[in-house]
Homo-oligomer: A and B are copies of this chain.
Amino acid sequence: MRENTVKIGLMGLGTVGTGVVRIVQGHQEDLQKQTGLAIEIAKVLVKNAEKERNISLDDDILTTDPADLVENPDIDVIVEVIGGINPTKQYMLQALENGKHIVTANKDLMALHGAEILSKAQEKGCDVFYEASVGGGIPILRALVEGFSSDRITKMMGIVNGTTNYIMTKMSKEGADYAEVLKEAQELGYAESDPTADVEGHDAARKMAILGTLGFHVDMNLDDVDCEGISRVSAEDIAHAKQLGYEIKLLGIAQRDGELIDVSVQPTLVARSHPLASVNGVFNAVYVHGEAVGETMFYGPGAGELPTATAVVSDLVTVVKNKKLGVNGRGSVAPYKEKHLKTDDQIVSKYFLRLIVDDKRGVLAQITRILADHDVSLEQVLQQPYNDGKQSEIILVTHQASRKNIFDVRKLFEEIDSVYEVKSLYRVEGGEE
């Protein structure tokens, strides 16, 4: 019997883990038709084996001891959905040491220690797949690794965090304030009680590091990803952006220009005509531009029990098929390109700048002079009364400018007397060049 059954050790029985059990149990016949083998959940690591759960698993399957999985000679594949770095990383390395294949949804682990995990897997002839770590149910990693294997990716833009996209969508649709919408998202369970990882862009940065590594064939570190969150985006910013024909999204952008690359996560004005602008709520999307293929986009649910579990179990199907073929651990391609990161003077973008200034003669002239001195030219300028006419509000959309220059400009604006406040500075994507 053993040779016709693949035994799974499932780590974690939270939202995604429960989804994995449901799909493996519910789709048993289809999975067997596709892989030629039966898939059995043999052990499940939980924190509390006594807890009531609304799925059916034999009692002796649940365990609180990770060794029952990673040291268990009967287990072929570890499915890891507990998340976090410690002690998960140790479990993964131990499992690989014991020749077990891994399917994981852990973007933190893969973004921070992916190279180490994959190199251990290579050494041991094991598979490691992590489709669920980026874009939930969207099969974007397969698209990059297989679908575009013949192409050279030049740009990836991702709405890869559902929590922040829910918040930005709600702010845009209702004109509501950030704090108000965040509170509501927390009540609905769309945001954690400590929302830092989501709203400060750390979660998105991890996903962009994974996309950068796979899309550009370089060993991208999290430190290489410039990251800014949404907590300073105001209802007024969004209103102004809409007026100019843009939505504000927390957008990850990974770009390649010859050998030079740049990966960042920032609140970004996206032109309404761009397909990313209408990706709303908890949905995710990744736009991919390749030299040969041109523009493509992949859209779907970024999180949730069953969508994420679909990605996990589809990876499991690949591991099981590989096992049947005897080729586990032999399909992966390690990053083979040297990493050359762009410096701030090489990173160019259009920018949106909002200033509050004294309402007196010559201020706009002073501002445009500073911009011109830094090679920043303007596409749109809007000046209007602010604070009951005591001040003015100046909205600028620039043409392509270097990050260095725009940061120098901001610094100068913060120093001169006639500028009361630099309210916001965001990059702009998808309009006319």
Interface residue ranges, A against B (CB under 8 Å) = 19, 23, 27, 30-31, 33-34, 131, 137-139, 142-143, 146-152, 217, 275, 278, 283, 290-301, 304, 306-307, 309-314, 316-318, 321, 325-327, 330-331, 333, 336
A31-B150 in contact (CB<8A): yes
Decide yes or no: A313 and B150 within 8 Å by CB, A275-B299, A301-B296 being known contacts. Answer: yes
Question: A151 → chain B, closest Cβ, in Å?
Answer: 5
A306: B residues at CB distance < 8 A: 291-294
Decide yes or no: A296 and B148 within 8 Å by CB, A327-B327, A331-B325, A333-B34 being known contacts. Answer: no
A143-B146 in contact (CB<8A): no
7 tightest Cβ-Cβ pairs between the two chains A and B: A139-B147, A150-B313, A296-B300, A292-B306, A137-B293, A297-B299, A149-B317
Interface-centre pick from A217, A294, A312 (highest chain B CB count, 10 A): A294
Question: A406 → chain B, closest Cβ, in Å?
Answer: 31
A sample of 16 more A-B contacts (CB under 8 A), given A19-B292, A151-B314, A275-B278, is: A27-B151, A27-B152, A30-B217, A31-B150, A142-B146, A146-B314, A147-B311, A148-B314, A149-B318, A150-B310, A150-B312, A278-B278, A292-B307, A293-B307, A295-B301, A296-B300
CA distance A283 to B332 in the complex (A): 31
B309-A292 in contact (CB<8A): yes
Select from chain B the residue with minimum beta-carbon distance to A32: B336
A139-B146 in contact (CB<8A): yes
8 Å CB contact of A293 from B298, B301, B331: B301
- How many identical subunits does the complex contain? 2
B297-A296 in contact (CB<8A): no
Question: A191 → chain B, closest Cβ, in Å?
Answer: 20
Interface-centre pick from A309, A310, A317 (highest chain B CB count, 10 A): A310
B336-A33 in contact (CB<8A): yes
A-B contact pairs, 25 of them (CB 8 A): A19-B292, A30-B152, A137-B293, A137-B294, A137-B296, A139-B143, A139-B146, A139-B148, A143-B147, A146-B317, A147-B314, A149-B313, A149-B314, A150-B310, A150-B317, A291-B306, A292-B306, A294-B301, A294-B307, A297-B299, A297-B300, A298-B298, A298-B299, A325-B327, A326-B327
Select from chain B the residue with minimum beta-carbon distance to A144: B139
Select from chain B the residue with minimum beta-carbon distance to A313: B150
A30: B residues at CB distance < 8 A: 150, 152, 217
A278: B residues at CB distance < 8 A: 275, 278
